[in-house]
Structure 1
Amino acid sequence: MTTAEVSTGASGSATRTGLYLAVLQLVFTLGWTTYVIYLPKLAADVGIAPAAVIFILMLDQAIFTIADTAMGIAADRIAPVVGRLGLFVGVLATISCAAFVAMPFVAGMGPAAQAGLIALIVVWSITSSALRAPPLTLLGKYRTRPQVPFLAALAMLGYGIAGAVSPYLGVVMREHDARLPFVISSVVLLLTALGLSRVEFEVARDTLPSKPAEAARPLGIVPTTFIVAMVGLALGYQFHFAMNSAPFYLRFARPDELQWLMPVFWIGFNIAMFPASLVVKHRGGLVVMGAAGLFGAVAIVVAELAGSLDTLIVAQFLAGAAWGCMLMSAISAALAIGATGAEGKVTGLVFSALALGTLARMAAVAGGLQKMPEYAPLLHWAPVACWAVAGAGLLVIAAARLRGGKVESVNSS
């Protein structure tokens, strides 16, 4: 086989890998959406008060915060042996889907099954973390660095599509019985997850030369700062989209129009990732993350001050585009930073940061901050501060690394 044939085959395999990860993220995120839609009804069936549902969701995010990193570390340890990662994810996905399917059936048993439902939720939360960071480690361990940004954009496309259709699903599914959606979601997710072994063997076969396994080294100041900035970006996203976006739209639109307006953010998210991946390929993920953070902060300011629905729609589109650039470049940067054998660990930390941001937003909702007039300015401007500060910090780190690289190049010449 010629070098050109190998390159062409590897390129096709890379695209298939990205599409597979997109489908996996899509199905997983839609499963989470299904869970959130039906959790209040399931909780009511077992006698859990409606006010307690938010605390169950907070428990999920607290588990994700820990389990995402733990699963990433586990992926680093088992991935050097081809086939083990797919087996690991497949086993945990089977447990996760079994717990998920059982939830509505157990809830149907009434108040006596309250402990059983909570136990199933905990098992599902822990095991489903295996479907977040570990599959993405394939990109860092087997794909060349120039391929990673585009493949990360493909993978996050599934997440973005799920975000776009979620408001509509909430309207359509809410009045239907939970059992069928839970079964369908679990079966599709399990079949998708079980395909990881085939993808793993394919990418390992088509990667020439194979990357030698490396022992993970402790994370330094740059990775730590990167994760701290990621927490800031996640907080900004949560407070802007989940808490402020609907009230922004309700200044100009009716509540029944939200299902068509909220996806504007995700349309921008999905469109912007792919051109931004070209910039990441040449300039690095930290630069794009930082620039997108600053750009997104400006877009949120425009949304805050918008005087018409048209202006608000444009601002929300641009804010979504910025978040898409941030998340895609964050995955790319995590895989690059973790290229010392810690791809899973750093990627897991990114997902943990996202979960921590969600947990903080839910805590704010549980505390009723959005209903307290004295906290309104804080909630409105916190996303701007989070994205601007994190973005500026990332650009400073990127500039320092660039200067350090130039100095190293001069010293070695």
Structure 2
Amino acid sequence: MSASASASAAPPGAANAPVPRGYRTWVALVQGLIVVGWAMYVLYLPGLLKSAGIDARLAIAILMLDQAIFAACDWAAGAYADRLTGSARRLGPAVTAVALVSSAAMLALPTVARLASPAALIATIVVWTAASSALRAPVFALLGRVSGIANKSGPVGMAFVGLSIASALTPLVTTALAGLDPALPLGIGAIALAAAALFATRIESRFPAPGVATGEATPASATRWVALVVLLAAIGMQVQTAILSKPAYVRLAGPDANLWLPTFWIGFAFALPLAVRVARGATPLAHASIAILVGAAMLAVASRAPSLAVLVATQLVAGGAWGVLTTVLVSAALALGGASGTGTAAGMVFAALAMAALVRLGLVAAGIAPAPIVAWLPVVAWVAAGALLVARARTTDALLAVSDVRAIRAG
């Protein structure tokens, strides 16, 4: 890819434009609200199904359907965002409109469930799931209008701050909300997300205007393999945090186990400043491969932790490794996507995360989650992800180091 080709593909003003004021805070808030909304939905889904006349045991199947829809729609939403940008059309109005549909569907879930119509509830769930994709990949597609991985890594890190805080608080929030009527928590969550979505057009107006993309694009394989690494590593993360962590804490902390569940995400959050610095460095993927392999070693120790102190320490380091890996990989995918493919790149990453959640739910549904071999799945997945990173890091770091891709180093 030549510097001149890539430069011609950038929107006007992108080469010198910083990430606009307010975008970082907005994207962190939106991603955090999505996590909290999903946690409340999972909490109340069995009761909603029962109210609609559906066997609550089918909740796991519904959740698997949700993740499959997320995977397809995240990719499609990212590609559509690129189409809008490529034709010099604004993205904000479409994001707001679809996000409002998602919020309305979430708000309607308890009311529709009380109608005792299984078809109506499933349809509402599908609408909510599909429409919620508007606030994932398209939000990151806006970063295609600024140049360089360095400019993209800061907002990605802030997005993960919102995600990590929400993930850390989720066990405590769901415990507190367990006895409430779902209408109030789901309603508050839907309204908060709708309010955040209303700012999409204002935030977009602070970016350089979209331009018609021309010139040579980065090969699609450059972002596809990044998404594959995300998939492998995310499978390990899902199994570790959603299947293995709680039994380990119950064994070592007893009734206080829930208080320790956020440990992984606390490590994730504290590592994000370092993760952003790594993403802005000369060899981000090489350093990310080291991080994930160190994380794999920590997961191996955690699987046989002899004490609570050892378990907490290894979970903190593993969470930090996940923070470095995801920040670097998402930033790299967005940079490799270029001005005309940032949305698609983001969609591929979010689709990989959804597929990893689907794998974890599949293990639970199949009844093999407690099997001893599953305890080693996170380690194997992270070692595989690290090996793939080691194999491809040098080539991809060289691509990211091209002057037109790394045009701006502040952000």
TM-score of the pair, normalised by structure 1: 0.88
Unaligned runs of 5+ in 2: 1-12, 404-411
Alpha-carbon distance in 2 for matches of 1:401, 1:15: 30
Question: Match for residue 169 of structure 2?
Answer: 165
Q: Does structure 1 residue 127 correspond to structure 2 residue 131? A: yes
Question: 1:397 offset after TM fit, Å?
Answer: 0.6
SS in 2 for 1:84: coil
Amino acid at match of 2:157: A
Alpha-carbon distance in 2 for matches of 1:216, 1:75: 19
2:69 corresponds, among 59, 63, 67, to 63
Amino acid at match of 1:394: L
Question: Match for residue 239 of structure 1?
Answer: 239
**Structure with the greater relative contact order (CA < 8 A, sep ≥ 6): 1 or 2?**
2
Mapping of 1:3-82 within 5 angstroms?
A: 14-80=20-86
Question: Match for residue 300 of structure 1?
Answer: 299
Alpha-carbon distance in 2 for matches of 1:284, 1:120: 45
Mapping of 1:136-147 within 5 angstroms?
A: 136-142=140-146, 144-147=148-151
Unaligned runs of 5+ in 1: 1-5, 409-413
Q: Does structure 1 residue 287 correspond to structure 2 residue 282? A: no
The question of whether the paired residues in 2 share the 8 Å contact of 1:73 and 1:345 is answered with: yes
Amino acid at match of 1:233: A
Alpha-carbon distance in 2 for matches of 1:403, 1:203: 28
Deviations 1:160-195 (CA, angstroms, capped at 9, x unpaired): 111001000111001101111111111110110110
Question: 1:214 offset after TM fit, Å?
Answer: 3.8
Alpha-carbon distance in 2 for matches of 1:144, 1:251: 46
Q: Does structure 1 residue 393 correspond to structure 2 residue 349? A: no
SS in 2 for 1:79: helix
SS in 1 for 2:252: coil
Mapping of 1:4-403 within 5 angstroms?
A: 14-80=20-86, 84-110=90-116, 113-142=117-146, 144-204=148-208, 213-214=213-214, 217=217, 219-254=219-254, 256-339=255-338, 341-371=340-370, 375-376=371-372, 378-401=373-396
Aligned residues: 390
Question: 1:405 offset after TM fit, Å?
Answer: 9.0
After TM superposition, the structure 1 stretch with the greater mean CA deviation from structure 2, 72-81 or 308-317, is 72-81
Alpha-carbon distance in 2 for matches of 1:216, 1:268: 40
Deviations 1:203-239 (CA, angstroms, capped at 9, x unpaired): 227xxxx876347848443322222222101111111
Alpha-carbon distance in 2 for matches of 1:215, 1:35: 44
Amino acid at match of 1:400: T
After TM superposition, the structure 1 stretch with the greater mean CA deviation from structure 2, 211-220 or 292-301, is 211-220
Amino acid at match of 2:77: M
The question of whether the paired residues in 2 share the 8 Å contact of 1:69 and 1:348 is answered with: yes
* Residues 353 and 215 of structure 1: CA distance in aligned 2, closer, same or farther (over 3 Å): farther
Question: 1:83 offset after TM fit, Å?
Answer: 6.5
The question of whether the paired residues in 2 share the 8 Å contact of 1:14 and 1:143 is answered with: no
Alpha-carbon distance in 2 for matches of 1:170, 1:338: 37
The question of whether the paired residues in 2 share the 8 Å contact of 1:264 and 1:317 is answered with: yes
* Residues 273 and 407 of structure 1: CA distance in aligned 2, closer, same or farther (over 3 Å): closer
Question: 1:336 offset after TM fit, Å?
Answer: 1.2
The question of whether the paired residues in 2 share the 8 Å contact of 1:215 and 1:340 is answered with: no
Question: Match for residue 3 of structure 1?
Answer: none
Question: 1:264 offset after TM fit, Å?
Answer: 0.9
Alpha-carbon distance in 2 for matches of 1:341, 1:17: 20
Alpha-carbon distance in 1 for matches of 2:122, 2:342: 32
The question of whether the paired residues in 1 share the 8 Å contact of 2:88 and 2:212 is answered with: no
Q: Among all aligned residue pairs of Structure 1 and Structure 2, give the percentage whose two residues are the same amino acid.
A: 35
After TM superposition, the structure 1 stretch with the greater mean CA deviation from structure 2, 318-327 or 163-172, is 318-327
Alpha-carbon distance in 2 for matches of 1:299, 1:14: 38
Q: Which structure's residues are more often helix, by fraction?
A: 1
Amino acid at match of 1:69: W
Amino acid at match of 1:304: S
Question: 1:249 offset after TM fit, Å?
Answer: 1.1
Alpha-carbon distance in 2 for matches of 1:398, 1:118: 43
Question: 1:338 offset after TM fit, Å?
Answer: 0.4
Question: 1:47 offset after TM fit, Å?
Answer: 1.8
* Residues 98 and 318 of structure 1: CA distance in aligned 2, closer, same or farther (over 3 Å): same
> What's the Cα RMSD here?
2.5
Alpha-carbon distance in 2 for matches of 1:405, 1:278: 15
Question: 1:319 offset after TM fit, Å?
Answer: 0.9
Question: Match for residue 411 of structure 1?
Answer: none
The question of whether the paired residues in 2 share the 8 Å contact of 1:18 and 1:154 is answered with: yes
